[in-house]
Amino acid sequence: MSRKKLAKLRYDYSNTPLEEAQASLDPFQQFESWFGQALNAGFEVPNAMAVATAHRGKPSVRIVLLKDYTREGFVFFTHYTSAKGRALAANPNTEILFYWPEIERQIRITGRTAKISAAQSTEYFHSRPRQSQIGALASDQSRPLENRATLETACAAIERKFAGKPLPRPATWGGYILKPQRFEFWQGRPSRLHDRLIYLKKGSRWIRERLYP
């Protein structure tokens, strides 16, 4: 595609508006409503979210999967020794982003992350498909890998070693919870006059405001 064609790409948003009268005063309830609609719409990966971190002044972002959420926060899993794990250990300030283009919506959630308990991580690890468990044991995530065959050989060795036995959760793999301090709900609108509602945590209360698009 030429640069001129790229510059001319346009999409006019035309979905339902996000009005204060219909939006919840509680950001968790608003998230529950929108996430439920994304689930019911049949999207292939509605729980895919971008996780942004910053380490030594350098930002980094990647897609991971939301695996649980409560009023306490939003949970995802990874290797503690991965690039994101090292970034979170140095700077727990994090932002996650959900984007559902089919319904012209985004949700940004900003807060601080912390590890969930070892028991919670182990419980989730054993709920995963066995091949995913083997992959977690075999992978030294984010580190240089000589070739694909090396990884596949490591997986095969683990499979042989634990044939017919439960797999142990790696001590370097587990869950994080992002505890929100700010939500932003974005709804696409015509002429780029988008709706943006933010929720800011003030003590034990949440304050809702509208932003210019």
Tokens describing residue 33: 């409503």
The Cα diameter of the chain in Å comes to: 60
Question: What's the confidence (pLDDT) of residue 8?
Answer: 74
CATH number at residue 107: 2.30.110.10
In a domain, 141, yes or no: no
In a domain, 146, yes or no: no
Which tens digit of pLDDT belongs to each residue from 114-157? 999 999 999 999 999 999 999 999 998 889 989 999 999 999 99
Which tens digit of pLDDT belongs to each residue from 158-210? 999 999 999 999 999 999 999 999 999 999 999 999 999 999 999 999 999 99
192 is catalytic: yes
In a domain, 44, yes or no: yes
Q: Specify the pTM.
A: 0.93
In a domain, 160, yes or no: no
169, 192, 196, 205: the catalytic one is 192
Rounded Cα distance, 97 and 146, in Å: 32
* 1, pLDDT greater than 70: no
How many domains does the structure of the chain reveal? 1
Which of 164, 168, 174, 176 has its CA nearest to residue 137? 168
